[in-house]
Amino acid sequence: MSEIDKTLQIMEQLRDPDSGCPWDIKQTHSSIAKCSIEESYELISSIIKNDPEGIKEELGDLLLQVIFHSQIANEKGNFNFNDVVKGLNNKLVRRHPHVFDEKIKKKKITAAEQELVWDTIKRNEKDTNQTDIFSDLNDSLPPSKKAIVIQNIAKTFDFDWESKDQVICKIKEEIDELEDSFEDKDKTLEEFGDILFSVTNLARHLNIDPETAIEYANKKFMDRFTQLLDLFAKKSIDMKNANMEQLNDAWEEVKKSEVDL
């Protein structure tokens, strides 16, 4: 028995109505839906920490969600895990014609060109009317991910900036518009959203995942702030009573200590 077959068997036993686990038995697609998102973020956290063991463990937890949903569906007679894998295999082959189609596989394309091919094939699979191109947009996506999907859909219609410099100019323009909106709270909210949308667009042009980038920034800030607290403690200074100059000097000292390592 392969390890994956063993896992499928374990899940089947956990869901057994007579001898299984009460918690596992009562779960539904809806009740565990958020778990996939939580496990994805934990995987990202392990990747950011460059923790191979953590990555391995979190990949297993994410795979568990696929197997859990597949078992629930199998019990309802909808589909099983093998159907999921078969569908994935077919999709991977179908969306990579330059790799698997003998007629065109010899033609080399760039990663950027492949993204366009993928999005075009995906749109054609949905047979979406051009006036309703966002109908299948996944509303459960994190906003930054959703923004990238929207931008990639627009890109398949050649509606996109040609360079990152153009996006940077757009961000500066949006910041100016934000500064002019401070007297109107609703307008400020709108303009701030435009900035985030444009920054996400820049991330896409730089081939950076914005969710991963903000997680790096979160971790960096937490590390630096912890060091800042330690620094004031060593100097026997209550950080709450420090003035702005002391705070700035201490922050720069923390940053310099990172460079010197």
Which is more confident, 86 or 45?
Answer: 86
pLDDT above 70 as % of the chain: 96
Number of domains in the chain: 2
Worst-scoring range by mean pLDDT, 89-93, 138-142, 202-206, 219-223? 138-142
Residue 68 CA to residue 10 CA, distance in Å, equals: 10
Q: Which two tokens stand for residue 109?
A: 């394309």
Q: Choose between 201 and 104: higher pLDDT.
A: 201
Q: For position 132, what pLDDT does the model report?
A: 72
Between 62 and 114, the more confident residue is 62
User: At which of 47, 64, 94 does a domain end?
Assistant: 94
pLDDT band (50, 70, 90) for residue 182: very high
In whole angstroms, how far apart are CA 213 and each of 47, 104, 145, 203, 210? 12, 36, 12, 9, 5
What does the H/E/C string look like for 163-175? CHHHHHHHHHHHH
Q: Does 196 fall in a domain?
A: no
Q: What is the pLDDT of residue 133?
A: 78
Length of the chain: 261
Q: Are 29 and 72 in contact (CB under 8 A)?
A: yes
Is the residue at 207 inside a domain? no
Indicate if the pLDDT at residue 193 is higher than 90.
Answer: yes
What gap in Å lies between CA 227 and CA 193, rounded to an integer? 33
Q: Looking at the domain assignment, is residue 221 inside a domain?
A: yes
Which residue range forms the structural domain that includes residue 38? 3-94
Provide the CATH number for the domain around residue 40. 1.10.287.1080
Q: Locate the DSSP E strands across 21-86.
A: none
- Output the pLDDT for position 247: 94
What pLDDT does residue 203 have?
96
150 or 141: which leads in pLDDT: 150
Query: Does residue 110 sit within a domain?
Result: no
How far is residue 249's CA from residue 242's CA, in Å, rounded to a whole number? Answer: 11
Has residue 221 got a pLDDT over 80?
yes
What number of CA atoms fall less than 13 Å from residue 61's CA on the CB side?
18
The residues, ordered by sequence, that sit 6+ positions from 135 with a Cβ below 8 Å of its Cβ are: 128
The answer to whether position 72 is within a domain reads yes
Last residue of a domain, one of 45, 68, 94: 94
Last residue within a domain, chosen from 53, 79, 94: 94
102 in any annotated domain: no
Instruction: Render pLDDT for 61-113 as a digit per residue (tens, 0 to 9).
Output: 999 999 999 999 999 999 999 999 999 999 999 888 888 887 776 677 777 77
Higher pLDDT, 34 or 195: 195
Do residues 185 and 151 touch, judged by C-beta distance below 8 A? no
Which structure tokens are listed for 233? 């403690």
Nearest to 121 by CA among 159, 92, 141: 92
Question: From CA 237, how far away is CA 41, in angstroms rounded?
Answer: 37
The 10s digit of each residue's pLDDT in 126-142 is: 654 555 778 777 777 88
- Has residue 188 been placed in a domain? no
Least confident of 4-18, 26-40, 116-130: 116-130
Q: How far apart are CA 207 and CA 134, in angstroms?
A: 22
Cα(203)–Cα(199) distance, integer angstroms: 6
pLDDT of 49 > 90? The answer is no
Question: In the predicted model, what is the mean pLDDT of the chain?
Answer: 90
Note the pTM of the prediction, 2 decimals: 0.60
Residue with tokens 């199998």: 74
Contact 74, 90 (CB under 8 A): no
**99 falls within a domain:** no
Which of these ranges, 20-24, 127-131, 247-251, has the smallest mean pLDDT?
Answer: 127-131
Distances 110 to 14, 116, 204, 254 between C-alpha atoms, Å:
45, 10, 16, 41
